[in-house]
Chain A
Amino acid sequence: MGRIAWLPRPLPTTIVFEIGYRVTDVPKLAASGVSCRFGDVLAVDDVSLTVGRGEFVSIVGPSGCGKSTLFNVISGLQRPTKGGIAIDGVDVTGETGHVGYMLQKDLLLPWRTVIGNIVLGASLTRGATQDDRAEAARLASRYGLGQFLNHYPHALSGGMRQRVAFMRTLALGQDVLLLDEPFGALDSQTRFDMQMWLLSVCRDLNATILFVTHDVDEAIFLADRVIVMSARPGRIARELPVGLPRPRTVDTLTTVMFIDIKREVQAALGHAEAGRAAR
């Protein structure tokens, strides 16, 4: 852990030098002017956001702020009423198969082993090969699931099940991951372990992550940037960069900088709630 020097993660404005000849500042993921209307209800209103390659962005907001709708739009499950989604600068609005998606429910198939669940994405699209399984076994072993490769999900604890679910999301081979309150159902100690675990996995894989949570501490602790959304219609109320140094530890949670950011996020959330109460 200590051997790897910490480097600041690229923000959307940073110019990224790719391997080869191309120099690009195209963000990994861009939502532009996304609005979503269901009948009379405007669930998401003109949301624009960009996420840089390898960036970790948390989204917090009151219940019903359209976070899940936004995720459905980004994943391609839901076509927006207005606006579009681009990944690597390519328009993928309404197209599935471009991102990894993980929910609070682990949704593991009880009849598949840990390995079988991790390769589910391949099984569902083209059929899992030996290589897929070997790769899944390697991933799982590397991130603390080595003993449980052939276990059925019911034999695992909640935290372990979420790890398998996350591995399944990774094994899809997409470098944009949407995590919708993935640790919401876990107890606080397991949750903290999972956060540390997620940070270590992210450091290795350089995945681009959008992370929805209700937990302000969690949002700040994990992210490079926190987006606060307002209640219905869902709008971006505030964006806050999180300049906390990495690697982050349990001590990060009590630093002055962390508390300052938390105060600002909560103030923004308070405005979002107040805005709703006033309507």
Chain B
Amino acid sequence: MTTSTTRPRRGGVARALGLLALPIAGLAIIAVIWNIVIWIFDLKPFVLPTPQAAVRAIGVNWSTLAPLTMQTVLETVYGFLIGAALGFVLAVIMSAMKFLQRLIFPTLITSQAVPIVAIAAPLVILFGFGMLPKLIIVAWIVFFPVAVNVLDGLAHVDPDLVRLSRVTGARRVREFLMIRLPATLSPLFSGLKIGATYAVTGAVIGEWTGTPTPGLGTQLLKVNASFKTDVVYGVTFLLTAIGVLSFLIVMAVEAISTPWTRRTTAWRGFRGAIDGYDGAHGSGMSPARADGARTGPQTVGEPDRGQ
């Protein structure tokens, strides 16, 4: 019945390594080209250090960099969460009231056309040197892709589905919670993934305007001024890593919260979680179900005819 059962299943670790092999190879190729460029043009380390030297600089300066990294991570995470929440709420409000959508949406688009670097300094004048202006800048960048994607998701709920729900005499609140809200999950995560990679940039720009609590952004300016080019690249690597890691975390959360996109059957603990059902009735595990749960998404054929 299934094609995937004929192929021996690889172990989880081996499969994970297999999936990682190509991305790692991609990074290795860039590192090699980088070294070749330095070698061909005979570039001095203060002009362009090798990636190895940049990584080594992280290690050497780690005691300085660790608290700075922490600070930047905090700004990124808090700003990201605020921006995501704001974007989501705005999208829900705009989709519920078309009048508000016409009122707010053009302003939101305009907000993204404002050069963030230009607005950073005035924000410091307004809100001081503390955490707040940094959070505002990060949230400013993050909320937009979230709002646009969620709004799109809400707009694309099948009108027939809404019709069906109306026929049953559904309550509007329940209709929203059970039909519209879950439909926003996939677009929400698309927006969050974009936001997660941009958030770090926002934190760095925020730090550039001056801060009593330095982060990697402030460090970047400092080491750049003193021509410690290897540390500049090292810090850039760290910032990049924060962005990539954020993306991966969002991806992991997406995978956990949208099991139906990858699995054939619901997780045992997850069955009926949507309306508080403990799954007691699904106890008789049939062979087909056990098999389906292992082999991932696939189409199950018709059962025996004449059933």
Residues of A whose CB lies within 8 Å of any CB of B are 75-77, 96-97, 99-101, 103, 105, 107, 109-113, 115-116, 119-121, 123-125, 127-128, 130, 133-134, 137, 144, 146-152, 154-157, 159-160, 172, 190, 193
Contact = CB atoms under 8 A, between A and B. Distances in A.
17 contacts: A109-B178, A115-B281, A116-B271, A120-B168, A123-B274, A125-B169, A125-B171, A130-B280, A150-B266, A150-B279, A151-B265, A152-B260, A152-B264, A155-B265, A155-B297, A157-B302, A160-B300
A133 B266 CA distance: 15
B282 A115 contact: yes
A100 B169 CA distance: 11
Which of A97, A109, A134, A151 has its CB near the most chain B CB atoms (within 10 A)? A151
A149 B289 CA distance: 9
A123 B265 contact: no
Interface stretch (B70-78, B109-117, B134-142, B157-165): B157-165
A77 B307 CA distance: 36
Interface in B271-299: 271-272, 274-277, 279-282, 286, 288-289, 292, 297-299
A77 B300 contact: no
Nearest to A72: B163
B271 A124 contact: no
Interface residues of B, number: 49
Which of B161, B175, B179, B260 has its CB near the most chain A CB atoms (within 10 A)? B260
B44 interface: no
A115 B277 CA distance: 11
B160 A105 contact: yes
B80 to A, nearest CB: 25
B170 A124 contact: yes
Interface of B: 158, 160-161, 163-171, 174-175, 178-179, 182, 185, 258-261, 263-266, 271-272, 274-277, 279-282, 286, 288-289, 292, 297-303, 305, 307
A9 B167 CA distance: 28
A77 B277 CA distance: 31
A105 B159 CA distance: 12
A124 B297 CA distance: 28
Contacts, number: 138
Contacts of B259: 152
Which of A150, A156, A193 has its CB near the most chain B CB atoms (within 10 A)? A150
Nearest to B265: A150
B91 to A, nearest CB: 19
B303 A144 contact: yes
Ranked 6 nearest A-B pairs via Cβ: A97-B169, A124-B170, A155-B264, A152-B260, A101-B167, A121-B168
A113 B300 contact: no
Given A111-B274, A125-B174, A149-B282, A154 B265 contact: no
Contacts of A103: 160, 164
A120 B264 contact: no
B281 A133 contact: yes
Nearest to B299: A157
Given A147-B286, A149-B282, A155-B298, A116 B274 contact: yes
A116 B305 CA distance: 25
A77 to B, nearest CB: 6
Contacts of A124: 165, 168, 170-171, 174-175, 178-179
A248 B70 CA distance: 74
A107 B158 contact: yes
Nearest to B304: A144
Contacts of A125: 168-171, 174
Given A111-B185, A124-B175, A127-B174, 6 more contacts: A107-B164, A109-B161, A147-B303, A148-B289, A155-B264, A190-B302
A189 to B, nearest CB: 9
A124 B263 CA distance: 25
B167 A76 contact: yes
B171 to A, nearest CB: 7
B166 A137 contact: no
Contact of B182 (A109, A115, A156): A109
Which of B166, B168, B261, B288 has its CB near the most chain A CB atoms (within 10 A)? B168
